[in-house]
Amino acid sequence: MTRPAVEVLTFGESMVSFRSDGPLVQGGRQTVRLAGAESNVAIGLSRLGHTVAWAGRVGDDTFGRLVLRELRAEGVDTSCAVVDGMRPTGLMFVEQRSADLTRVEYRRAGSAGSAIGKDDVAEALRTAPHILHVTGITPALSGTAAEAVSWAVESARAAGALVSFDVNFRGRLWSRDQARESLAPLARRATLVVASDDELDLVATGDEDAAVAHLLDEGVQQVAVKRGPAGASVHTRAGRADAPAVPVTAIDPIGAGDAFSAGYLSGVLDGLEPPECLARAVATGAFAVSSRGDWEGAPTRADLDLLASHTPGATLR
Amino acid sequence: MTRPAVEVLTFGESMVSFRSDGPLVQGGRQTVRLAGAESNVAIGLSRLGHTVAWAGRVGDDTFGRLVLRELRAEGVDTSCAVVDGMRPTGLMFVEQRSADLTRVEYRRAGSAGSAIGKDDVAEALRTAPHILHVTGITPALSGTAAEAVSWAVESARAAGALVSFDVNFRGRLWSRDQARESLAPLARRATLVVASDDELDLVATGDEDAAVAHLLDEGVQQVAVKRGPAGASVHTRAGRADAPAVPVTAIDPIGAGDAFSAGYLSGVLDGLEPPECLARAVATGAFAVSSRGDWEGAPTRADLDLLASHTPGATLR
Amino acid sequence: MTRPAVEVLTFGESMVSFRSDGPLVQGGRQTVRLAGAESNVAIGLSRLGHTVAWAGRVGDDTFGRLVLRELRAEGVDTSCAVVDGMRPTGLMFVEQRSADLTRVEYRRAGSAGSAIGKDDVAEALRTAPHILHVTGITPALSGTAAEAVSWAVESARAAGALVSFDVNFRGRLWSRDQARESLAPLARRATLVVASDDELDLVATGDEDAAVAHLLDEGVQQVAVKRGPAGASVHTRAGRADAPAVPVTAIDPIGAGDAFSAGYLSGVLDGLEPPECLARAVATGAFAVSSRGDWEGAPTRADLDLLASHTPGATLR
Amino acid sequence: MTRPAVEVLTFGESMVSFRSDGPLVQGGRQTVRLAGAESNVAIGLSRLGHTVAWAGRVGDDTFGRLVLRELRAEGVDTSCAVVDGMRPTGLMFVEQRSADLTRVEYRRAGSAGSAIGKDDVAEALRTAPHILHVTGITPALSGTAAEAVSWAVESARAAGALVSFDVNFRGRLWSRDQARESLAPLARRATLVVASDDELDLVATGDEDAAVAHLLDEGVQQVAVKRGPAGASVHTRAGRADAPAVPVTAIDPIGAGDAFSAGYLSGVLDGLEPPECLARAVATGAFAVSSRGDWEGAPTRADLDLLASHTPGATLR
Amino acid sequence: MTRPAVEVLTFGESMVSFRSDGPLVQGGRQTVRLAGAESNVAIGLSRLGHTVAWAGRVGDDTFGRLVLRELRAEGVDTSCAVVDGMRPTGLMFVEQRSADLTRVEYRRAGSAGSAIGKDDVAEALRTAPHILHVTGITPALSGTAAEAVSWAVESARAAGALVSFDVNFRGRLWSRDQARESLAPLARRATLVVASDDELDLVATGDEDAAVAHLLDEGVQQVAVKRGPAGASVHTRAGRADAPAVPVTAIDPIGAGDAFSAGYLSGVLDGLEPPECLARAVATGAFAVSSRGDWEGAPTRADLDLLASHTPGATLR
Amino acid sequence: MTRPAVEVLTFGESMVSFRSDGPLVQGGRQTVRLAGAESNVAIGLSRLGHTVAWAGRVGDDTFGRLVLRELRAEGVDTSCAVVDGMRPTGLMFVEQRSADLTRVEYRRAGSAGSAIGKDDVAEALRTAPHILHVTGITPALSGTAAEAVSWAVESARAAGALVSFDVNFRGRLWSRDQARESLAPLARRATLVVASDDELDLVATGDEDAAVAHLLDEGVQQVAVKRGPAGASVHTRAGRADAPAVPVTAIDPIGAGDAFSAGYLSGVLDGLEPPECLARAVATGAFAVSSRGDWEGAPTRADLDLLASHTPGATLR
């Protein structure tokens, strides 16, 4: 019963999401679940067999207990999570207005999750993770949250950990200009940067090639760029590799980027080369896109193997 | 197509309620609906064929639209309701921990509903209602809300309207001492006071008889006292009348007090004597207790007639 | 693979019932199922292992197909049922307004089921059943339906079959005076009469004892009287036997009378004495009362045995 | 609190629709909602902020109350609706046999809605609407209904109102020849004619160009032609404008035509030119096609803006 | 009431299938239904108006009763089915991991269904069916099951019945080599062989043309080959006919092959020529693909006519 | 972040339970959840804030993953649980035939859970728990399971742990005589024995007083006897204490005994005297009885406090 060391530590705000079956204005039924970019990545890694810890603050309310309950259920270590007796857990309400327009209303201002600070993270970093994964959402939450991210990145570097940074721009939290000021310095200190193609300008200047070159010059070792249905690329000093998107039936795009990050980091932990990491990232992203829910469809290793060896669309019977 | 004048005006905070099918901490399904003591009374009166207006503030969000949508659906006039662009609609989360223990978590601090003020009410009072109905919840919400209630009661009295006051103490919003200071003066200015037997000490001193006598001395004309399964009474200067509870299968106690008030006021509007008003109040309360939901089971006049003429438990087929 | 002869033939109108989860006026979800007093009896008997045929008319629409599909599923012989290409299947909409008040709206005027006639029944009687079971609902449906019942009763008597008649008064279809005129002659020609205590005056005059004596004088051999929670009795020329109600948790009273009849007839087919038939009738009625649905909870023989040998409330694990 | 004048009046038959989750013949769950072409248009306009009234007859039953409840909920003025104590509300049962074959069974013969007459409409026209909207369904319902439509069109013209006519051919109600005889005269008296490309021959002769020219010669000012996935056109004396269909994920085609009409009329009320009206009509139709339900997905103005300014498929978070 | 002779007899293992709404590992809701390749064919034929009998073994448990109940409901003759008091009914658990990956877990080892033997089938063959339909699943279940299939094929041939054989390879039950050894001899003794294009090598050697020629040489009269979205073909000594796939929206592929067989056999029973049988097979397969469930969407004759005469996607209203 | 030592270790078979919404024979919807007497106790203790570990075997299938997922979610340490690659996870199917008769069908023969053995338990005992809790179900599962229980009891005693034994007779697994032979020796070696009043004769001879005296003579320190609605008692050498049942609305009796054990052991861990332990046991049992599900309604400490300080039936708002 030796307890494996933590392979990946991530932290950020996790919330409780209410998803409406029909128009929310007509009332009706809602489905409640855990939501959060970093916790999605943590679950994605745990499903693939890695040891992961998640840090963050939740309120001392039923919603905070729900967040921790689901993370534990998925095998994510929550022993560093903090229950904040003064602030509520953030909520979000997701409504699909039509097949092509999803609206989200938040109740996250002043939330426990946004009050995360350096001390919370310091405690968590004592687990000495191989990888620290942070996103560009957290610095937008509050001053203490922004400080926690910067501090954690520096501390992890100092401790020899690999730093993974997913740009993850959220237009509802801040402007592109605000984001750029905060995120560009973080990206430059990361080992791995993950970005959508329309997010690269938030962390470096110029077109994709120039921006990537700039990051690699700054010391970033791998830059993974997501292009949705057009696939994805990874850039290293050794050059660029591309992967086409897996042709799946898209059901729900939410969580696809987080699944991509989880797949990529899983490859890194398995010692794969960047193009192989990219292939796994594209596969885990495909699972997320073709399953309902933010993280519920994240694949196990057995799922990955099956997808690789079978024709899509086939039933295993 | 003559539009009937408003018979009853009421105002207060209405919220959106999420009711969990099972343990909320396990996620799962929620049912979303309108909630609010005053809007429950308004719906109860509308179902019985009266013209009712509801005033209050809702946020400029989907939840505020839900509140107004349901009130309109039930035939309640919402033309005086205000959409507050700065504050969110209040939310509540109801979870039945066991058959005998229901927990409620609120997200109502700083809500649009609690920001109601004198001006909102002044606008609504121009409808010249026969009856103004207020509850002891509103003064607990904020200073402006408390002021709005006091001002409305005085204005309605001045305009010759009947003032109905339901004590409705909420221990989650303030202490009994705080409530007493605020509610006792309001009760003394009402024409009709409705209270549970354990609320009388919040509006007058002494045991039930002394408290009621005190209120009648102050000018209150009718004091209705609810005793749950033990029935209810009404006190006037002419004496006391009692009504036993209707022996129904209790399903959901939430909203029973509001249904009682709606039934009583319906009797007043129909020109009934206090004992007949009490009988109707007890019957409408019985419907609420034996139906799921805060207001969904409120009876129409046809329902009332059927209950009177048939054996309970029988199916009309 | 010898095909057993039909033990019981019954006929009447079966409909499709829509049962609302909440207030029907608010829309929402409905559950659709088969409904009909005679088909309830047929299913009750089939569950207990008897061979039963049901005759009647259904429309050439999805609802008619649903009626026949469910009867076939339950092992009831529908080979004599008629699909009426000119008239629709009757519908009913059941709404529980409160725990103690259920409303039913019908769309059965001019239905296929009400157009049943002598010829339909003549065809079915060729199966030479041991027992013919009819109810007092059918004569209320139409002139041809009333004629079909009278004719069937006489034909069955002539063929030596036992005739079972359940009074089953429906106040929504006709008045007590109308019913009396039609039902009293039928009752007098039956071998077994089943009635609620408040239905006896529809088939004979005087109090219970006088009414029963009158029926026995006319040639009826067994008169079973249902008294709800107060139990039931059976009267024969040999005297009266009583059975207390089984103390079960009541869930849904609809279908309890039909289950009672099925249980009684099952006893008759098994050659039991009247008190034993009554005991079985009370037990099958108890199952119906303690299960949701009109017939879904009807017991198998194994269920009956279990109820007899175990403490109610216990789980068999 | 000045009450805005009615911008659009529409009338016709609204029903209650039962939609089956699976094969209806297997029973199971149904979802109940309001249905009706004209009420769909009314809701579409109300969602976009216009004042709309709906006239028509409903039965004095739960279904009639459901129709009025939903219309009120959606902010549609129902003060001219008539409750018909003698006839039931029409019902329809919708079953998706397969992804590409939907069956509908009606119970609308002799319904309250089909009994609408001149007097009902006369009352409603006193609201002096800017626009009267009628469809080609109503003349097929009954003689009085056909008369009501003709009379209303003439009265509205006389009063200076714009007359909008949606051809809306229903093959279950009458033949193309019957429809042509009744609808062609109506179309010629309209200001705006809306038709699918396969409906033009019901209101004028020749191919599309000839038919449109004929209508414009007769005094029609705008002719909008819907071509499903191939987009739509509008013809005026000034020429023709085209709009491609919005490339959305189709979920449920029912109600798309009504949403198109609502969008077009909204443009007219906002003073837009025909090509802009057409663009809005195509957008509102796209919302209907990509949402479940006949009218539930109708867009608000905020939804329209979002669709215009965001990439389809994106989530606003 | 003349009982029609059995047109088709089929036998095999039917199970109870649990289908998960979401990830099964998270618990949640399951839908329970009948499953089984041969019973799917039987239901498909019954829906099209043919008389069909199904033989097989079910356990003496609720699941066995469910299997027989559903078959009876669908009008399939189950009088030859055997209830095996010693073995349980087989279960399967279906989980859609993503839109493109469905997993199935079985609990069928040692099931009643796999214990089917020669005697069970001998009894059933006394119904003297016109057609015997068997699949390549049954020989994989057990030695007695394999023997039962061989014996039945020979007996049916001897009695002059047409033998239909659907290859239906199941990789979870045996290897391709094991299957080849068992299935090739069966195919050679069939009148009609139905196979997917990737199953032909299990019953004959060489490419499609060679394999088919080989089967026709052996005495097979018709060989139907399914190619999924690429359509299907039928080969006879007179040559080959092709049919394109019906362009439907695919919802659920399970059961499509069984529906194809049902449609083909229906054509044979109606005396159609092979190309017409193929056209019907492709149409019934299209219904199965575009409906949820293994057999629930099987078309009636009326459905088939509608599909033929209407544009796909249209609603019949 | 010091990891607390394990306070309680328990082991046994946990299964996956399918609970039917209606009659299982009619198919329909099932709810899937974790079930198992020992895991119910573990969850009950974890909810009350204790550290608990559960040991046992689950299959390498989705159901085994579900069992571990739920236990982790509830904070139960599963690090000693074994995944058995050769045997499936046990299943059970629960169907409420009526309000008073629940049937359970098992698929647990040869399950992974029943293959638990001494080695699995030895590993788990290295956590050095303060209390070992076992039940009389496990010895009935298999020879290795019986051996594991005996060995664990002796090892725990030797290590100074308190041994808790819940008799938990299951008539579906063995006879009373078989049980007596196996359970009586275990009870004599326990520190705490929990039994229903009708189970005492399985562990000692004579009436309740004699049986209890016998156990206390053998060295048992506390004997808790459950009497359902009649309350419970605890016997020690110091005498007997009684507690009445908490008067709650009974919803679902399954799991009540396990909740009782959890409450009692929680009291022991908190250092309470036997009568106080009994009071807590009765309270936790009351929660289980008044909540749906086997363990879902288990109270937290906050729930316990609320029940103590509030009137049952009240809503906390």
pLDDT of residue F246: 86
Vertex C121 angle, CA C119 and C127, to 5°:
120
Q: Which of C307, C298, C308, C303 is nearest to C52 (CA)?
A: C298
E73:C75 CB<8 A: no
How many angstroms separate the CA of residue E227 from the nearest CA in chain A?
14
The model's confidence at residue F3, banded by pLDDT at 50, 70 and 90, is: very low
* Active-site residue identified among B119, B258, B270, B303: B258
Q: Are F114 and F49 in contact (CB under 8 A)?
A: no
DSSP code per residue over F142-172: -HHHHHHHHHHHHHHHHTT-EEEEE----TT
Q: Which subunits count as partners of chain F given 3+ CB pairs below 8 Å?
A: A, B, C, E
The pair phi, psi for residue D304, each rounded to 5°, is -60, -45
The model's confidence at residue F231, banded by pLDDT at 50, 70 and 90, is: very high
D72:B72 CB<8 A: yes
Q: Are E117 and E86 in contact (CB under 8 A)?
A: no
* Interface size between B and C, measured as CB pairs under 8 A: 55
Q: Which are the contacts of C275, defined by CB distance < 8 A and separation ≥ 6? A: C234, C241, C243
How many angstroms separate the CA of residue E63 from the nearest CA in chain F?
7
Residue F207 has pLDDT above 60, yes or no: yes
Name the residue in chain B with its Cα closest to that of C36: B317
How many angstroms separate the CA of residue D313 from the nearest CA in chain A?
5
Selecting from A29, A61, A105 the residue whose C-beta is nearest the C-beta of B30 gives A29
Residue B130 has pLDDT above 50, yes or no: yes
Distance separating alpha carbons of residues E52 and E46, to the nearest angstrom: 6
Number of neighbouring beta carbons within 10 Å of residue B5: 10
Q: Tell me the three state secondary structure of residue A251.
A: coil
For E233-246, write each residue's pLDDT tens digit. 999 999 999 999 88
The pair phi, psi for residue A164, each rounded to 5°, is -110, 130
The model's confidence at residue B312, banded by pLDDT at 50, 70 and 90, is: very low
Q: Which of C203, C202, C286, C210 is nearest to C243 (CA)?
A: C286
Domains and CATH numbers, chain B: 8-14+37-87+117-305 (3.40.1190.20)
The model's confidence at residue E121, banded by pLDDT at 50, 70 and 90, is: very high
D316:A104 CB<8 A: yes
Q: Which are the contacts of D68, defined by CB distance < 8 A and separation ≥ 6? A: D58, D78, D81
User: Average pLDDT for residues C268-284, to the nearest whole number?
Assistant: 97
Distance separating alpha carbons of residues F48 and C213, to the nearest angstrom: 66
Give Cα separations from C89 to B108, C294, D64, D86 (angstroms).
Answer: 51, 18, 21, 21
ipTM, 2 dp: 0.91
Which chain C residues are Cβ-neighbours of D103 within 8 angstroms? 62
Name the residue in chain F with its Cα closest to that of E24: F62
Which chain C residues are Cβ-neighbours of D33 within 8 angstroms? 27
Give me the active site residues of D, please: 258
Q: Tell me the three state secondary structure of residue C196.
A: strand
Distance separating alpha carbons of residues E80 and E57, to the nearest angstrom: 9
pLDDT of residue E316: 43
Give Cα separations from D73 to B121, D34, D68, D296 (angstroms).
Answer: 23, 11, 8, 12
D31:C33 CB<8 A: no
Poorest-pLDDT segment among B165-174, C297-306, D211-220, F197-206: C297-306
**DSSP structure class, residue C77:** B
Q: Are B303 and B266 in contact (CB under 8 A)?
A: no
The model's confidence at residue D309, banded by pLDDT at 50, 70 and 90, is: low
Residue B258 has pLDDT above 60, yes or no: yes
Distance separating alpha carbons of residues D212 and D238, to the nearest angstrom: 13
Top residue of E291, E294, E301 to mutate, by most chain D CBs within 10 Å, is E291
E316:D172 CB<8 A: yes
Q: Which of E126, E129, E147, E130 is nearest to E138 (CA)?
A: E147
* Interface size between C and D, measured as CB pairs under 8 A: 69
Q: Are D78 and D154 in contact (CB under 8 A)?
A: no
User: Average pLDDT for residues C156-179, to the nearest whole number?
Assistant: 96
Residue E310 has pLDDT above 70, yes or no: no
The greatest distance separating any two alpha carbons of chain D, rounded to the nearest whole angstrom, comes to 55
Instruction: State the sign of the Cα–Cα–Cα–Cα dihedral F309, F313, F314, F315.
Output: positive
| H runs (alpha helix) in E159-291 | 176-188, 208-218, 256-269, 274-289
Q: Which chain D residues touch E if contact means CB-CB below 8 Å?
A: 22-23, 26, 92, 97-104, 170, 172, 253-254
User: Average pLDDT for residues E48-73, to the nearest whole number?
Assistant: 97
C104:B316 CB<8 A: yes
pLDDT of residue F304: 87
F310:B101 CB<8 A: yes
Q: Are D243 and D275 in contact (CB under 8 A)?
A: yes
pLDDT of residue B308: 65
Residue ranges in chain A modelled with pLDDT below 70: 1-4, 307-317
How many angstroms separate the CA of residue D74 from the nearest CA in chain B?
7
How many angstroms separate the CA of residue D23 from the nearest CA in chain E?
7
Strands (E), chain C: 8-11, 15-20, 28-35, 52-55, 57-59, 82-84, 91-98, 101-107, 131-135, 162-166, 192-196, 222-226, 232-236, 239-243, 315-316
For B16-61, write each residue's pLDDT tens digit. 999 987 889 998 789 999 999 999 999 999 999 999 999 999 999 9
Q: Which chain C residues touch F if contact means CB-CB below 8 Å?
A: 73, 248-251, 286-287, 290-293, 296-297, 299, 303, 306-307, 310, 312-317
pLDDT of residue E251: 80
Q: Which chain B residues touch A if contact means CB-CB below 8 Å?
A: 18, 20, 24-34, 61-63, 65-66, 69-70, 88, 91, 93, 95, 103, 105, 107
E249:D100 CB<8 A: yes
Poorest-pLDDT segment among B164-173, D202-211, D250-259: D250-259
Selecting from B287, B293, B316 the residue whose C-beta is nearest the C-beta of C102 gives B316
The model's confidence at residue D305, banded by pLDDT at 50, 70 and 90, is: confident
For D67-89, write each residue's pLDDT tens digit. 999 999 999 999 999 999 999 99
Distance separating alpha carbons of residues D240 and D251, to the nearest angstrom: 30
Q: Which subunits count as partners of chain E given 3+ CB pairs below 8 Å?
A: A, C, D, F
pLDDT of residue B252: 81
Q: Tell me the three state secondary structure of residue B234.
A: strand
User: Average pLDDT for residues C183-189, to the nearest whole number?
Assistant: 97
The model's confidence at residue B313, banded by pLDDT at 50, 70 and 90, is: very low
pLDDT of residue D282: 95
Top residue of C3, C72, C301 to mutate, by most chain E CBs within 10 Å, is C72
Which chain D residues are Cβ-neighbours of E314 within 8 angstroms? 102
Which chain C residues are Cβ-neighbours of B306 within 8 angstroms? 101, 103
User: Average pLDDT for residues E257-279, to the nearest whole number?
Assistant: 97
User: Average pLDDT for residues D19-47, to the nearest whole number?
Assistant: 93
**% of chain F with per-residue pLDDT over 70:** 95
Which chain B residues are Cβ-neighbours of A97 within 8 angstroms? none
Name the residue in chain C with its Cα closest to that of D95: C62
Residue B102 has pLDDT above 90, yes or no: no
Higher-confidence position of A307 and B147? B147
SS (H, E, C) F232-292: EEEEECCEEEEECCCCCCCCCCCCHHHHHHHHHHHHHHCCCCHHHHHHHHHHHHHHHHCCC
Q: Are D306 and A101 in contact (CB under 8 A)?
A: yes
Tokens for E94, please give them. Answer: 């279906």
Please list the residues that pair with B162 across neighbouring strands: B131
Which chain E residues are Cβ-neighbours of D172 within 8 angstroms? 316-317
The model's confidence at residue E29, banded by pLDDT at 50, 70 and 90, is: confident
pTM for the model stands at 0.93
* Interface size between E and F, measured as CB pairs under 8 A: 69
Q: Are C91 and C106 in contact (CB under 8 A)?
A: yes
pLDDT of residue A316: 43
Q: Are C124 and C161 in contact (CB under 8 A)?
A: no
pLDDT of residue B284: 95
Selecting from B297, B314, B316 the residue whose C-beta is nearest the C-beta of C98 gives B297
What is the H or E stretch that residue A91 is in? strand A91-98
Q: Which subunits count as partners of chain B given 3+ CB pairs below 8 Å?
A: A, C, D, F
Tokens for D97, please give them. Answer: 């046999």
**% of chain D with per-residue pLDDT over 70:** 95
pLDDT of residue C247: 81
Which chain F residues are Cβ-neighbours of C73 within 8 angstroms? 26
Q: Are B166 and B42 in contact (CB under 8 A)?
A: no
pLDDT of residue D298: 93
Give me the active site residues of C, please: 258
The model's confidence at residue D311, banded by pLDDT at 50, 70 and 90, is: very low
Tokens for C54, please give them. Answer: 């049901």
Higher-confidence position of C229 and E174? E174
How many angstroms separate the CA of residue E61 from the nearest CA in chain F?
8
Please list the residues that pair with F10 across neighbouring strands: F54, F133
Please list the residues that pair with D315 across neighbouring strands: A102
Top residue of C17, C24, C68, C102 to mutate, by most chain D CBs within 10 Å, is C24
Q: Which chain A residues touch D if contact means CB-CB below 8 Å?
A: 22-23, 26, 92, 97-104, 170, 172, 253-254
Residue owning tokens 């009247």: C274
User: Average pLDDT for residues B101-106, to the nearest whole number?
Assistant: 87
A73:F73 CB<8 A: yes
The pair phi, psi for residue A127, each rounded to 5°, is -75, -5
Top residue of F17, F21, F24 to mutate, by most chain E CBs within 10 Å, is F24
